[in-house]
A and B are shown apart, each in its own frame.
Chain A
Amino acid sequence: MKTIGKIFIILVAFVVVMGITYLVVNASETSTEMTQFENGERPQFSDDERPSFEDERTEFPGGDFDGQPEGRHERGVGGWMFGLIKNIGIVAIVTVLIALPRTLLRNRKRSAPAATE
């Protein structure tokens, strides 16, 4: 029962953050559109490029869309390995940059009283 309560609290926090994000994104989009109309600007695409929101997927000009739905343009083993190493590398660099000085500092603190004894 206690665990269910905890799970409920976590899910409520999850939903609250999701709700706030959704509202912020929608509000910012609405305000952008309003500013565009107030300034007399038009959207950047022409009539034939205008996105129809009835389509399953809408792409906008200038994006990195290459004609295939996202995720379908799969890479080989080399690309997969590169992505994996790159992500591990970023985490490792951040970890080393913070954990190493902390460990050195702690070791120095430990060795300082021992040296004075």
Chain B
Amino acid sequence: MAENQTKPKTQTKLKLVIDIIIFLVFLITMDPHSSGITIHEWLATSAIAALVVHLLLSWDWIVQITRRFVGRVNGLSRINYILDWLLFIDGTVIMLSGFMISESLLPFLGISLPRNFVWRPLHDLSANLFLLLLGLHTALHWGWIVDAFKRYVFQPIAKLFWADREKDLTA
């Protein structure tokens, strides 16, 4: 029983950490002129692993909604599900177009792909769209984000602070 309770707790913690990492990576990769193209490409590619973990942690929800999508699902879950698919598709388009115009990663691996002038505008467009979709995704999960931050960031910090104060008072 206790194990069952601690599992979601650690999962939520892990999810929060992964989501923060993804958000930070996204912010850095959104500005390749500042980070440099090498960091931009390697960081974005390594973010695939974090995105896979993010999807694995939400797997039960994805399966549940996929099964019930046509039938009985509340409106918000349906919107969330469609939005998540749009994010997945857009993220994949960013990755593919990024690989097609790669200047650092693929040449380093010795891979050369045929050039096509469509990929660059597609990369820019899908990245800008991703920013909007990410805003929507964040907004729809705002309650969860606030709860998780309260529980795993603010409360532990407050506890540390108050424990120190109590120690000072008793001394």
Asked whether, in the complex, the Cβ of A70 is within 8 Å of the Cβ of B37, the reply is yes
B109 to chain A, nearest CB (A): 15
Asked whether, in the complex, the Cβ of B103 is within 8 Å of the Cβ of A69, the reply is yes
Asked whether, in the complex, the Cβ of A6 is within 8 Å of the Cβ of B59, the reply is yes
Q: Once bound together, how far apart are the Cα atoms of A10 and B51, in whole Å?
A: 10
Asked whether, in the complex, the Cβ of A91 is within 8 Å of the Cβ of B135, the reply is yes
Number of interface residues of A (CB under 8 A): 47
Q: Which residues of B sit under 8 angstroms from A63, Cβ to Cβ?
A: 117, 120
Q: Once bound together, how far apart are the Cα atoms of A74 and B32, in whole Å?
A: 8
Give the contacts of B52-66 with A (CB-CB under 8 A): 52, 55-56, 59
Tally inter-chain residue pairs, CB-CB below 8 A: 112
Q: Which residues of A sit under 8 angstroms from B36, Cβ to Cβ?
A: 71-72, 74
Chain B residue at smallest Cβ distance from A98: B139
Number of interface residues of B (CB under 8 A): 41
Q: Which residues of B sit under 8 angstroms from A25, Cβ to Cβ?
A: 116, 118-119, 122
B148 at the A interface (CB under 8 A) = no
Q: Which residues of B sit under 8 angstroms from A1, Cβ to Cβ?
A: none
Q: Which residues of B sit under 8 angstroms from A58, Cβ to Cβ?
A: 115, 117
A105 at the B interface (CB under 8 A) = no
A104 at the B interface (CB under 8 A) = no
Asked whether, in the complex, the Cβ of B55 is within 8 Å of the Cβ of A10, the reply is yes
A57 at the B interface (CB under 8 A) = yes
A37 at the B interface (CB under 8 A) = no
Q: Which residues of B sit under 8 angstroms from A90, Cβ to Cβ?
A: 131-132, 135
